[in-house]
């Protein structure tokens, strides 16, 4: 793969904040970006040289988008793989449509992971009520019923505690088919972001720990508060998945650390990831720069960090309204995505707080460091919890 020359144009499918931060990283490397999105004034288009405003299924628009760019990537996985196939017939697309197909379908994804020897929660496909009853009998209850496609931020899943829940859960979840997953008793949720170039070079960031609120990522702690062995295993898993996919680009691997210490993959996403936003401020080369470098055929640096960090997402109108206070809080590095309207559950921005390398403090100090954010639906830890790690 020859390196994409400076001033070339990178096409990004999707106009969200991941595209915005990718475009900002691309700009620093001397590239232009052109966004394909149906949304006027999208966060990515607001910082890019060009935009094609069209639905992802609009074939004429896909063709004119491809004509306007030199290479193509995506920041949004719910684009149709067929649309991406069309783009790939016109311009290089990284990661490939084949990689997208694996990550778009939970059943395909889990089958792929298990096939390369990567452990997941126990799971079974569910097509109808009979297969649901059979899966529940084999996996045991409680279990989680999930759509195979189009799920994100906890949408498209239902907890099943008893047989009485079967029908309501099955009926509520669309589109079918579904999968039933055994409930993992986990001590924490972690993720590793890995970049891989066309030459097979891989750079993996340190494993980080993620905490959720209302099924939406709330905070990321870098590094994860796990043993060095578990951190190394998580990185090894991410590298293995990237290699097996023959990935060119960036991949986020979300994992559970089970109470018994096993590391189980929950899901993968072949794009920049919310749990990698800390890398903008705590690493010489962020996840977005590694993404751009990998798809542009540039040398991949090591994914080192020069600080420990936490990030907190600014979700919905309540947290977005704290912006003036956050700007004035010493030590907070604020990021805003340029979204005009702050709807509940919408990620409006994030803040990063850096700590000395190896000096990530306990929950009290982290809560204090977040200033005003600490009090929004996210109560400070009770004094009884102490400063130990693990409370998230």
CB of 166 to ligand AMP, least distance (A): 17
CA distance 362 to 385: 10
CA distance 80 to 212: 28
The DSSP bridge pattern shows strands 186-196 and 178-182 to be unpaired
CA distance 251 to 195: 6
CA distance 52 to 31: 17
Q: What are phi and psi of 368, to 5 degrees?
A: -60, -40
Using CB under 6 A as the binding rule, whether residue 267 contacts ligand AMP is answered as yes
CA distance 243 to 196: 8
CB of 139 to ligand AMP, least distance (A): 10
Please list every residue from 167 through 196 that binds ligand AMP, using CB under 6 A: 181, 183-184, 189
Nearer to ligand AMP, 226 or 296 (CB): 226
Question: What string marks each residue from 130 to 169 as x (binds ligand AMP by CB under 6 A) or -?
Answer: --------------x------x--x--x------------
Length of the chain: 392
Nearer to ligand AMP, 190 or 322 (CB): 190
Q: Which residue has the tokens 């709330």?
A: 218
Nearer to ligand AMP, 230 or 300 (CB): 230
CB of 151 to ligand AMP, least distance (A): 5
Nearer to ligand AMP, 189 or 233 (CB): 189
Q: List the helix and strand counts (H, then E) for the chain.
A: 13, 17
Residues touching ligand AMP, count (CB under 6 A): 13
CB of 218 to ligand AMP, least distance (A): 11
CB of 254 to ligand AMP, least distance (A): 6
CB of 20 to ligand AMP, least distance (A): 23
Q: In what order do the strands lie in the sheet with 178-182?
A: 123-126, 178-182, 143-147, 157-160
| Angle value at C-alpha 116, between 257 and 272, nearest 5 degrees | 60
CB of 172 to ligand AMP, least distance (A): 15
The secondary structure element, H or E, covering residue 101 is helix 97-104
Question: What string marks each residue from 102 to 121 as x (binds ligand AMP by CB under 6 A) or -?
Answer: -------------------x
CB of 234 to ligand AMP, least distance (A): 15
Please list every residue from 197 through 256 that binds ligand AMP, using CB under 6 A: 212, 215
Nearer to ligand AMP, 243 or 254 (CB): 254
The DSSP bridge pattern shows strands 71-74 and 9-13 to be parallel
Q: Exposed, middle or buried: residue 37 (CB in 10 Å: 0-12, 13-18, 19+)?
A: buried
> For ligand AMP, which residue of 266, 274, 286, 313 counts as binding (CB under 6 A)?
266
Nearer to ligand AMP, 32 or 110 (CB): 110
Nearer to ligand AMP, 88 or 258 (CB): 258
CB of 262 to ligand AMP, least distance (A): 13
The secondary structure element, H or E, covering residue 216 is strand 216-222
Nearer to ligand AMP, 151 or 362 (CB): 151
Please check whether residue 36 is in contact with residue 302, taking contact to mean a CB–CB distance below 8 angstroms. Answer: no
Please check whether residue 386 is in contact with residue 367, taking contact to mean a CB–CB distance below 8 angstroms. Answer: no
Question: What string marks each residue from 14 to 43 as x (binds ligand AMP by CB under 6 A) or -?
Answer: ------------------------------
Tell me the CA distances in angstroms from 359 to 275, 331, 334, one per residue in order.
19, 15, 21
| Angle value at C-alpha 189, between 186 and 194, nearest 5 degrees | 140
Nearer to ligand AMP, 145 or 322 (CB): 145
Using CB under 6 A as the binding rule, whether residue 389 contacts ligand AMP is answered as no
Which residues of this chain interact with ligand AMP, rule CB under 6 A?
121, 144, 151, 154, 157, 181, 183-184, 189, 212, 215, 266-267
């Amino acid at each position: 793969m020859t390196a994409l020359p400076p001033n070339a144009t990178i096409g990004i499918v999707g106009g969200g904040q991941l595209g915005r931060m990718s475009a900002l990283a691309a700009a620093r490397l001397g590239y232009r970006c052109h966004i394909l999105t149906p949304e006027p004034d999208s966060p990515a288009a607001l910082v890019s040289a060009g935009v094609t405003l069209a639905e992802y299924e609009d074939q004429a628009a896909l063709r004119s988008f491809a004509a306007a760019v030199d290479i193509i990537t995506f920041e949004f996985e719910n684009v149709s793989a067929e649309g991406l196939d069309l783009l790939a017939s016109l311009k290089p697309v990284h990661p490939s449509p084949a990689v997208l197909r694996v990550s778009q379908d939970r059943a395909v994804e889990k089958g792929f992971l298990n096939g390369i020897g990567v452990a997941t929660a126990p799971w079974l496909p569910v097509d109808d009520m009979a297969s649901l009853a059979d899966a529940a009998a084999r996996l045991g209850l409680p279990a989680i019923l999930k759509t195979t496609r189009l799920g994100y931020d906890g949408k498209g899943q239902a907890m099943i505690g008893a047989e009485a829940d079967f029908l309501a859960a099955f009926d509520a979840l669309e589109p079918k088919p579904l999968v039933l997953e055994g409930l993992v008793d986990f001590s924490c949720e972690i993720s590793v972001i890995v970049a891989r170039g066309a030459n097979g070079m891989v750079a993996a960031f340190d494993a980080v720990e993620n905490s959720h609120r209302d099924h939406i990522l709330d905070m990321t702690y870098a590094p994860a508060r796990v043993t060095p062995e578990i951190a190394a295993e998580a990185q090894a898993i991410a590298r293995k998945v990237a290699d097996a996919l023959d990935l060119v680009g960036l991949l986020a691997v979300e994992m559970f650390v089970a109470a018994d210490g096993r590391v189980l993959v929950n899901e993968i996403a072949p794009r920049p990831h919310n749990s990698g936003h800390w890398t903008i401020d705590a690493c010489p080369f962020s996840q977005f720069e590694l993404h751009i470098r990998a798809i542009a055929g540039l040398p991949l640096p090591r994914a080192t960090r020069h600080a420990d960090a936490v990030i907190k997402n600014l979700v919905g109108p309540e947290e977005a309204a704290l912006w003036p206070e956050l700007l004035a809080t010493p030590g907070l590095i604020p990021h805003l995505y340029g979204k005009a309207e702050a709807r509940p559950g919408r990620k409006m921005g994030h803040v990063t707080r850096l700590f000395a390398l190896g000096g990530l403090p306990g929950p009290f100090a982290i809560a204090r460091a977040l200033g005003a954010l600490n009090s929004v639906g996210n109560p400070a830890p009770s004094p009884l919890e102490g400063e130990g790690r693990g409370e998230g």
